[in-house]
Amino acid sequence: MASGNIPVKMNAIVISEPGGPLVLKLERRDVPKPGPGEILIRVHAAGVNRPDVQQRKGVYPPPPGASDLPGLEVAGEVAALGPGAERWRVGDRVCALTSGGGYAEYVKVHGTHALPLPAGFTYTEAAALPETFFTVWHNVFERGALKSGETLLVHGGSSGIGTTAIQLASAFGAQVIATAGSKEKCDTCLRLGAGRAVNYHEEDFVQAVKEATDGKGANVILDMVGGDYVDRNYRAAAVEGRIVQIATQSGAVASADFSRLMVKRLVHSGSTLRPRSVEFKGAVAAALEAQVWPLLAVRRVAPVLDMIFPLKEAWRAHERMEEGEHIGKIVLDVG
């Protein structure tokens, strides 16, 4: 089923070759056709994420069967339904997690990976939700099993992931300690609900965590840094602490004192979202709709937006991300 006015071609951003931001080029592509269980979305806005940058550089290829176009989250209107996509109707306003292809005027996604636009949200705001909220929910609350009254340490607290984790953990009754690289970024973390923000250029986060928890340490640590943070996380963690690795921006190889892992009975796990199964992502979406979407509807939590760029200037969005000065999410306005 379709709206009847879907074009054959669309504007899309392609990666012309591995390299810097300027390899992102505007190109005409065929509009994808939704398969069984899928929906076609007319994209109004698309989120920009670190994996997009890695894909552009040629170090994070799309999984088998995924679009070669960058873009892991979108917001827009349902334009067509594939066979068996029964929940949605043409014209429904949705945001969705994609396995690729978000930097385009149309994208197909599995129907279970789409969620209704929260009440009062713009497309630009909603496009900043799926990738970070799916990631934080699974890693902090499912893998990390964060509970009310526990302490969460969030590295990169001013990033899209970080600002989401601070708000969700606070909303569910946890205490939050965040690390960030400037006073402005630390102030943002505090405003969003962190009880303590640590400027890692000026303070040792291990010592700060110990001071903030009366020596007990953090129950859950969300880390996207890796490198020498691995051993420091072990020192900052509480007994029975859970450390969840979602990226290794400072290096995937580390030296750590594993005696702390044993003595404290720590659990250090990791995950990536993009290659997970359709069923897995659908289950996370269902949990978000039940547990988090009500909080969005009353603005108890909301995405923090940094800058918005037109689709044709996706290269500028990538420059902004790589400068490392952004706070919250960078979004593309697709139209």
The fraction of the chain above a pLDDT of 70, given in percent, is: 99
For residue range 154-194, what is the model confidence (pLDDT) as tens digits? Answer: 999 999 999 999 999 999 999 999 999 999 999 999 999 99
For residue range 100-116, what is the model confidence (pLDDT) as tens digits? Answer: 999 999 999 999 999 99
For residue range 59-113, what is the model confidence (pLDDT) as tens digits? Answer: 999 999 999 999 999 999 999 999 999 999 999 999 999 999 999 999 999 999 9
3-state secondary structure of 305: strand
Cβ atoms of 96 and 129 within 8 Å: the answer is: no
What sign has the CA pseudo-torsion 311, 272, 149, 176? Answer: negative
Stated pTM of the model: 0.95
- The structure tokens 């290794």 sit at 248
Average pLDDT on 226-238 reads: 95
Looking at residue 112, the DSSP 8-state letter turns out to be G
Q: State the maximum Cα–Cα separation within the chain, in Å, rounded to a whole number.
A: 64
Query: What is the end-to-end Cα distance of the chain in Å, rounded?
Result: 23
Tell me if 9-129+274-333 shares its fold with 133-270.
Answer: no
3-state secondary structure of 256: coil
Residues in the chain: 335
- Which CATH homologous superfamily contains domain 9-129+274-333? Medium-chain alcohol dehydrogenases, catalytic domain (3.90.180.10)
Q: What dotted CATH number matches 133-270?
A: 3.40.50.720
Q: What is the pLDDT of residue 4?
A: 57
Q: Where are the domains of the chain?
A: 9-129+274-333, 133-270
